[in-house]
A = this chain, B = another copy of it.
Amino acid sequence: MVKAGIIGATGYAGQELVRLLLQHPQAEIVWYGSRSYIDKKYYEVFRNMFELVDAACLDDNMEALADRADVIFTATPQGLCASLVSEEVLSKTKIIDLSADFRIKDVATYEKWYGISHASPQFIEEAVYGLCEINRERVRSARLLANPGCYPTCSILSVYPLVKEGVIDPDTIIIDAKSGTSGAGRSAKTANLFCEVNENIKAYGVASHRHTPEIEEQLGYAAGRPLCLSFTPHLVPMNRGILVTAYASLKKDIGPEEIRSIYERYYGDEKFVRVLEDGVCPETRWVEGSNYVDVNFRLDERTKRVVMMGAMDNLVKGAAGQAVQNMNLMFGLAESMGLELVPSFP
């Protein structure tokens, strides 16, 4: 039984982690951390948990937690995990950080895009970027795991095979992404009120969103050289789901069957990546509540571009589900344990 502590259990990602771990046959939650709700019953914050969780919220004491937990999940704003982690903590427990603190190898890049200084750069090198489908082996032995961002997970998995295989020109990649509103978090802001989000769509963080360098770094590894891309997120009036529509110019003459065979080669054995049938576009409704990423592509003969698409649940594969998938690998459990979730529709 893996004893898990959660710091930041009262955000949307933290709560989804609770939902998944409660249904996980080999995990047990020992710490519901939430600075905002200390001593409050967890079910008073999330009434879906009534009669399921009796524990009260605790503070963010990572040292105390390290003594009790086999793994600590940090589902907290940027900077917190980096400020709490230490060699002592890592000697006692594993950390799966759902924030961005350890995702980017170049500390200057991190500090520039996030606008904060990194409190423990000495752990960056050790940290493993936990996109299981690409880094599976390194994940298994990680002490400090950087759980990928929601947009990066969907973007990278949609585009990765064609970059890696040299099918598309890395300098032409444009990623237009759309996210449900749970991605904006649970803090009380006017911009996230129902009446402000409902019946609306907008782009935000145009040419400046923090997930850009994370996507660039990972796709750069695939390309074998640094690359620079356009990334535009949009806010959609729905609770969950991310859809990525990515564009790139072909580098060589290639037909749709060949591209399809590449996707199938990369993902045919991947349980959580479904390569859809020809002509079927990914839709967020078909993955909701599950750990799947649905991907597909369309070759446009007229423009010599390929349109790559991916859909996933931002709170599952884009956050808590992927974190559990990483936990499973790190503790030698079956990778899909607790994640055999049939997508819930409608």
Is A155 part of the contact surface with B, judged by Cβ < 8 Å? no
Is A346 part of the contact surface with B, judged by Cβ < 8 Å? yes
**When the two chains form their complex, are residues A238 and B201 in contact, meaning their CB atoms are under 8 A apart?**
yes
A residues 31-59 near B (Cβ < 8 Å) are 46-52
Instruction: Give which listed residue, B49, B204, B228, B343, contacts A48 with CB less than 8 A.
Output: B343
Is A61 part of the contact surface with B, judged by Cβ < 8 Å? no
- The minimal Cβ–Cβ distance linking A219 to chain B, given in whole angstroms, is 14
Contacts of A202 in B (CB 8 A): 243, 281-285, 311
Encoded as 1 (CB less than 8 Å from any B CB) or 0, chain A from 215 to 226 comes to: 000000000000
CA distance A153 to B169 in the complex (A): 31
Is A167 part of the contact surface with B, judged by Cβ < 8 Å? no
Encoded as 1 (CB less than 8 Å from any B CB) or 0, chain A from 8 to 51 comes to: 00001001000100110000000000000000000000111111
Contacts of A181 in B (CB 8 A): 193-195, 198
Contacts of A280 in B (CB 8 A): 47
Residue on B with the closest CB to A313? B344
Segment touching B, from A101-109, A136-144, A301-309, A329-337: A301-309
How many copies of this chain are found per oligomer? 4
Segment touching B, from A86-94, A119-127, A229-237: A229-237
Is A196 part of the contact surface with B, judged by Cβ < 8 Å? yes
CA distance A148 to B230 in the complex (A): 29
**Among A197, A201, A243, A344: residue with most chain B CB under 10 A:** A201
Segment touching B, from A64-72, A76-84, A182-190: A182-190
- The minimal Cβ–Cβ distance linking A179 to chain B, given in whole angstroms, is 9
A-B contact pairs, 24 of them (CB 8 A): A19-B345, A23-B342, A46-B286, A178-B234, A187-B190, A188-B190, A192-B194, A194-B196, A194-B198, A198-B239, A199-B239, A199-B288, A200-B241, A200-B285, A202-B243, A202-B283, A203-B245, A203-B281, A207-B298, A228-B302, A229-B303, A237-B238, A247-B247, A289-B289
